[in-house]
Amino acid sequence: MPNQVERPLLDLGLTRLEFLRISGKGLAGITIAPALLSLLGCLQEQIDSGVIGLTTTPKGVLVTNRARCTGCHRCETACTSFNDGSVGSYFSRVKIHRHFYYGDLNFTTDTCRQCKDPECMKACPIKAISFNEEHGSIAVDTKRCIGCAACITACPWMMATVNPQTKKSGKCILCGECATACPIGALSIIEWKEITV
């Protein structure tokens, strides 16, 4: 694994790889060291209740704070501008509108879970979805993608989206542009060098 670092994670005694494994399964119910909670800018109760979400990326840990999100869509704009060269909420790889339409009045950022055994990858009839070493994520090869949308229906969270302009599927590659664009810190990335000692 290219991202493996054999250094303890603050006073938890975890390596970076172990942290990736834990956070991939979710951190709710796991007691986190106060020093790490302070670095992430949250309380244990917020993680346990789901107000704070943690997603590991090649750059570090993506922290999503549901309570801070105002629904400005800047994360979606930055995502599509960076990845597609055009702007569109529908085909953005980060999505904030989903829960609003189902009666939940809080905006929530949502993105690919980078599953250990991705259904989208298994469903792709031409194997255009694979692990991308450069980004450290499961990604769509747009040169091979035929836009059939099999990945969308296979994903339990429907995170891949076919861009209506290019007719190609796209999903989060963990680039971090969404966090960079967030004006109020609802999305942020804590870099690995800040977490590992």
- Domain ranges for the chain, please list them: 10-67+183-195, 74-179
Range 25-35 average pLDDT: 54
pLDDT at 1 over 50: no
- At 88-120, the pLDDT tens digits run 888 999 888 655 555 555 667 778 888 889 999
> Phi and psi (nearest 5°) for 121?
-65, -40
Mean pLDDT of the chain: 78
DSSP state of 74: H
Range 59-85 average pLDDT: 87
154 pLDDT band, cuts 50/70/90, is very high
CATH 3.10.129.10 fits 74-179, yes or no: no
Asked if residues 176 and 62 have their Cβ atoms less than 8 Å apart, the reply is yes
pLDDT at 185 over 80: yes
State both tokens at 163.
């861009």
Which pLDDT score is estimated for 89?
86
Asked if residues 121 and 129 have their Cβ atoms less than 8 Å apart, the reply is yes
Distances in Å between the alpha carbon of 138 and those of 26, 164, 174? 18, 21, 9
pLDDT at 21 over 80: no
Region of residue 181 (phi > 0: left; psi between -120 and 50: alpha; otherwise: beta): alpha
Q: Tokens 């801070």, residue?
A: 68
- At 131-152, the pLDDT tens digits run 988 877 899 999 999 999 999 9
Q: Please, which contacts does 92-97 make with residues 24 or more away whose CB atoms are closer than 8 Å? A: 92/161, 93/159, 93/161, 93/170, 93/171, 93/172, 93/173, 93/178, 94/172, 94/178, 94/187, 95/159, 96/69, 96/71, 97/71, 97/73
pTM over 0.85: no
Name which residue leads in pLDDT, 151 or 13. 151
Q: Specify the 3-state DSSP secondary structure of 83.
A: helix
